[in-house]
Structure 1
Amino acid sequence: MQVLVVFESMFGNTEIVARAIGKGLAGSCEVDVVNVDDAPAQWDGVGLLVVGGPTHAHGMARPATRKSARQQVEGGVRSSTGVREWLSALPVASRRVPVAVFDTRLRRARWLTGSAAVGARKLLLKRRGVPLVPPESFFVDAGKNATVLCDGEQERAEAWGTMLAARLLATAAG
């Protein structure tokens, strides 16, 4: 079954999580992990679409929050366009497509930080996406000079990918 993992990443943490999820999925599925800058304009033919991005200002990144991120990092950010814009331009699928969403955010209560995954899920529902699992968050710590993935989160992301594959295959088997 073909799985597409699309990520938006500013500092590299969301990309690490996306690639770990892809690694977990790859044990059972054919997987492509792509930066949102390179994501296809269509999603017909995809057996599962997994979408993730960083949480900025309580939700999905916007042009203004990406600009702010660019000013914080030497060498530029990983994604120049965003999941919000990509999903908004994505056509309604010709059939219902299983989807899973994730984000990276500070390890605090979701009501304090918000969640990019929740917003991505809403946009996917409008385009005939069917949630396979609830939105998932992976945690980062913000230091003085960098934002880093918390210990154990990369392994947890790979395990989440493995669980997604199992759930997808069980759902397909009926």
Structure 2
Amino acid sequence: MHTVIVYESMYGNTREIAEAIAEGVHEAAPSASVECLPLTQADNDVTRSADLLVVGGPTHMHGMSSGLSRLVAVAAENHREGHEDATAEAQATAEGPGLRSWFHSLPKTEPGTYAAAFDTRGAAPGSGGAAKGIAQRLSRHNYDVVAGPEGFIVEGTDGPLRAGELDRARAWGAALV
């Protein structure tokens, strides 16, 4: 089994969740091949090779990020002292295509290719989530979505992750296989 986990991350929280999901998949299926990649490295050859494609991103303005929301996130991060690593990751992500654009180039797959969607989101009620939109786009590309969209909670605007979320992500990843 070959699992590919593709993520967009602005402040590192979504990347951490993606890595924890990869750990969970590997723990549940030690012989599985698992790749965990930022979406800028997830070209069509990589996604076509997947038996299970897991896609995730941060929640911006109640859904998937957009070019504008990524630029706003970078601008906000630039004004925070002591957040140099987060600023660098946010800047690199903002300059890339983002999930919405990435989906435009994702080829449709054959039935029987599995997928799942996740996001990182704020803890406040009504903060929305990107995972539902990600799952819908995967379905439109003929992926068989094997789990409901999953959201992982970030404290504050840019983190850290809520206590226990990495463990929950590992368990979710293991349950996918």
Q: TM-score, normalised by structure 2?
A: 0.85
In 2: Cα distance, 1:75 partner to 1:13 partner: 14
In 2: Cα distance, 1:164 partner to 1:15 partner: 18
Deviations 1:31-81 (A, max 9, x none): 000001111124323110000000000100000000011112233415233
Secondary structure of the residue that 1:22 maps to in structure 2?
Answer: helix
Residue in structure 1 matching 2:60, options 56, 62, 69: 56
In 1: Cα distance, 2:152 partner to 2:56 partner: 10
Within-5 A mapping of 1:30-109? 30-42=33-45, 43-73=47-77, 74-77=87-90, 79=93, 80-109=96-125
Within-5 A mapping of 1:4-43? 4-27=4-27, 28=29, 29-42=32-45, 43=47
Bigger shift: residues 76-85 or 45-54: 76-85
Secondary structure of the residue that 1:5 maps to in structure 2?
Answer: strand
**Equivalent residue number for residue 82 of structure 2:** none
Alignment size in residue pairs: 161
In 2: Cα distance, 1:95 partner to 1:3 partner: 16
Q: In structure 2, give the amino acid aligned to 1:5.
A: I
Structure having the higher strand fraction is 1
In 1: Cα distance, 2:120 partner to 2:57 partner: 6
In 2: Cα distance, 1:108 partner to 1:75 partner: 26
Q: In structure 2, give the amino acid aligned to 1:88.
A: H
Secondary structure of the residue that 2:141 maps to in structure 1?
Answer: coil
Structure 1 alignment gaps of length 5 or more: 166-174
Secondary structure of the residue that 1:142 maps to in structure 2?
Answer: coil
Cα pair 2:111 2:144 within 8 Å, conserved: no
Query: Alignment identity in percent?
Result: 35
In 2: Cα distance, 1:11 partner to 1:114 partner: 18
Q: TM-score, normalised by structure 1?
A: 0.87
Cα pair 2:62 2:129 within 8 Å, conserved: yes
Deviations 1:8-46 (A, max 9, x none): 000000000000000110120210000011111243231
Deviations 1:85-131 (A, max 9, x none): 1112111113441110000001233xx11211111111111110111
